[in-house]
Structure 1
Amino acid sequence: MTTLHPLTQYTSTSHRMARRFIRRFIARPILSSVVAPSVEGQENVAGLEGAYIVVGNHSSHLDAPMMFTLLPSDITDNLATGAAADYFYRRRFVSKLTALFFNTYPIERKGKIKKSSGRGLKTQDGPSPAAGMTGRLLKAGIPILIFPEGTRSRDGRMGEFKAGAAALSQKLGVPIVPVALIGGYDAMPVGTFWPKRGRHRVKLVIGAPMHAEVDETVEHYNARIRACVAAMRATGHPHTGEGAEAA
């Protein structure tokens, strides 16, 4: 019988306080030393509680650090994000480190199946302990972060959004929080391992929470979410979300 990956980390007060300390005294100072960050739209998520899905465009390794240091603390205190089980969860030290900085949970990719071990997760036939983590977290009231493009942009342009986040939002009745990340590609494009010199300007723009409309298809809802993120990315200002036109 397979033991599912525990949810203790995501509900623990001590874990939450440790992550808050790291964000404030380690991650945020490091980010501010290599880029010039700004954020707009915090009022759109004031008082937001429970489960929701933060979605954003993905163009740089700076995206996750930007999300976890620039979003309001009320959001990042509980926000969890998926990390490839076959890469980040092979070694216990790496998995613990990424969990502390980004509150990660394991997700499977390329059909690889994992099993818990003293050194992390290892490949083995059978059900995965990481199976269904995204849904389990949302049902437990834990908000999650998803980059719907699935991979970083290779040329700075925003790609198509996979419909997984929209489908989860619609199925579980949780809102989508659209976020646009601006400047990450110019500061740290694919193929680089550290931001360029000169403290490039980067910006996080937070839109108003979005919900699926009555009888709306997942495809149309997903297109509306993408249109909202694209509009904020183009203008550099928050969008209400609900008025975004699907492309």
Structure 2
Amino acid sequence: MASDTPGRRDDRGDGSASARDSDLHDSTLHGDALHDDDTRNAGPARRTGRDGTPRDTTPRNGTSRTGTSRATGAQGAASPRHGGLGPDAADADLAIYRSRWRAAVRMVLQRVLFRALVRSQVSQTVIVADGVKRLTGAFVVVANHTSHLDAPLLAEGLPRRQARFVSTGVAYDYFFKDWYKRWFVRWMFNAFPIDRDGSRRNAGVSRRLLRYGVPIVVFPEGTRQMTGRIADFKPGAAALATGVGVPVVPAALIGGYEAMPKGRSWPKPGRPPVAVVFGEPLTADPDESVTEFTARIRDRVRDLYTTHHDRILGPAPEPGTAGDGTKARKR
């Protein structure tokens, strides 16, 4: 049963599953228009750079082919134990993302220290579908992008087993060039670098992480919302998930824009309400195109948002009323 109590977790469920390949992906992740620009198969093998960022070592056309029936439960989704995904000798530089002791430290940072900070500033609700709790191995969390609260809300909102190794993509040029920023995002979000300058320095990392069994977070709108409305989704997340053969977890963030809109560096006072809602895992139908799958994912995120919006934030004001940000017309 859904709970209106801030900080309480509410679980429900309704099933999932199926997958197919695609060698196109353009994952848009945490931050302002951050793109994993690997829109083709990964290039020549490269080792770790001086700054510790992973270099692509996946051979061309190295995509695994996996698939499950859509009627199959989420526990049958592709993972290191399903579909042939898992650690590879060529991906030794990714071991840091599945480090057990780092994961233990990160859980303390996220679920004790950072959670206390977040909940001192906002009133948080978490709703998780049953199918999410049954997932093993890698998956792609696809969410609307409301504010800088999104990454911590998603990371601490997932069940512990699914959140253990989850990794969020961040801008290489902003977060990975300065050691202290790199240290923060690596330890707090298990972050991996995303190129937004067209250099392809870190192209293919998201695909390799999924093949290594590391779940990732994707914000396919490409940037934080400017109006509070969900924008169009870029197809990279759907293409990436179907290409590797892992499920998509749709997630709706509610109240983040109202609590901390773009331009603010701290939430508004008064502990405004926010929520993260994780829906049942999705996989593409055998005859479903990447564009169609992208539309279905967006529709699901929007449905989750609409279904829970009024309970979290209250009814939306009618256009033209004083509460909608415009001046009501005098009669």
* Residues 207-216 or 228-237, more deviating: 228-237
Amino acid across the alignment from 2:263: G
Q: Does 1:155 align with 2:227?
A: yes
Unaligned runs of 5+ in 1: 114-127, 238-247
Q: Which of 277, 280, 293 is the equivalent residue of 1:221?
A: 293
Secondary structure of residue in 2 paired with 1:109: coil
1:93-242 mapped onto 2 (5 Å cutoff): 93-112=180-199, 128=201, 130-236=202-308
The answer on whether the counterparts of 2:143 and 2:253 sit within 8 Å (CA) in structure 1 is: yes
Residues 56-110 of structure 1 show CA distances to partners (whole Å, capped at 9, x for unaligned) of 0001111111111222111211100111111101012210111111110011112
Partner of 2:47: 3
Secondary structure of residue in 2 paired with 1:228: helix
Secondary structure of residue in 1 paired with 2:242: helix
| Structure of greater Rg | 2
* Residues 188-197 or 168-177, more deviating: 168-177
RMSD: 1.4
Secondary structure of residue in 2 paired with 1:236: helix
Secondary structure of residue in 2 paired with 1:202: strand
Deviation at 1:44, TM superposition (A): 3.0
Q: Which of 135, 140, 149 is the equivalent residue of 1:48?
A: 135
- Name whichever structure is richer in helix by fraction: 1
* Residues 67-76 or 170-179, more deviating: 67-76
CA separation in 1, counterparts of 2:304 and 2:189? Answer: 24
Residues 166-200 of structure 1 show CA distances to partners (whole Å, capped at 9, x for unaligned) of 00111111100000000000000011000000101
CA separation in 2, counterparts of 1:95 and 1:32? Answer: 25
Q: Does 1:28 align with 2:115?
A: yes
Partner of 1:63: 150
Deviation at 1:2, TM superposition (A): 4.2
Secondary structure of residue in 1 paired with 2:257: helix
Deviation at 1:51, TM superposition (A): 1.1
Q: Identity, % of aligned pairs?
A: 43
Unaligned runs of 5+ in 2: 1-44, 49-53, 55-92, 310-331
- Name whichever structure is richer in strand by fraction: 1
Deviation at 1:42, TM superposition (A): 4.3
Q: Does 1:88 align with 2:175?
A: yes
Residues 24-67 of structure 1 show CA distances to partners (whole Å, capped at 9, x for unaligned) of 22111011000000111242311211111011000111111111
Partner of 1:78: 165
TM-score (norm 1): 0.87
CA separation in 1, counterparts of 2:183 and 2:251? Answer: 27
The answer on whether the counterparts of 1:41 and 1:205 sit within 8 Å (CA) in structure 2 is: yes
Amino acid across the alignment from 2:127: E
